[in-house]
Homo-oligomer: A and B are copies of this chain.
């Protein structure tokens, strides 16, 4: 569940081939990646056969190998395509205000929105991370980047005397970042519902998550 994170360089050790030189090649490769995403999201990583992907992409089995060496490699390509969108949420980036609470809320909203938009892929990512060590590392690195960034934010607020100085920033960040990504997974991937059996509302999620996070660090009351 949840990746806790952002940051983004290349995909997992995929040799990252050059794009095919001809327009036809570009088209075919794109068709394969798109098809793979459809099939992966529909059948899950394990139950996806390469033949299903080429079938969905309307091309021959062999064509797959013109562009990818195996299942992992297409998956990495999908991740690569989605990276821009998935990594978008940056703490405070979107906030208009300088108020720490507003910054936090904006950050959480951005994160949850992006998560919801890519929910199927995030679920897939989670699944794959539990299957392929390559992607586990990939996921962990991204999560750690995010955690570290939030830890720096917390330490900064501590230094400024704004929040609880008694918690270890790194541990707190790990716990709270995890809380958010975990919740996102539960709500958007597992489809868990609230106490009354209703689907979660995004605003509600953002509010609760931000409130808990702020409380946990003892943000001062506003106003």
Contact = CB atoms under 8 A, between A and B. Distances in A.
A87 interface: no
A95 interface: no
A18 interface: no
A144 to B, nearest CB: 8
Contact of A212 (B167, B170, B181, B211): B167
Contacts of A215: 164, 215-218
Interface in A161-200: 164, 166-172, 174-176, 178-183, 186, 190, 192, 194-195, 200
B130 A175 contact: no
A209 to B, nearest CB: 6
Nearest to A196: B170
A208 B164 CA distance: 11
Stoichiometry, as copies per complex, reads 4
A46 interface: yes
B190 A171 contact: no
B179 A211 contact: no
Nearest to A180: B175
A182 B176 contact: no
A151 interface: yes
A102 interface: no
Given A46-B131, A182-B182, 4 more contacts: A130-B131, A175-B209, A175-B212, A176-B212
Interface of A: 1-2, 46, 126-127, 130-131, 140, 144, 151, 164, 166-172, 174-176, 178-183, 186, 190, 192, 194-195, 200, 204-205, 208-209, 211-213, 215-218
29 contacts: A1-B1, A1-B2, A1-B182, A2-B182, A46-B46, A127-B131, A130-B130, A130-B131, A144-B192, A164-B211, A164-B215, A167-B211, A168-B204, A170-B194, A171-B204, A171-B205, A171-B208, A174-B183, A174-B186, A174-B192, A175-B182, A178-B179, A178-B183, A179-B179, A182-B182, A213-B216, A215-B215, A215-B216, A216-B216
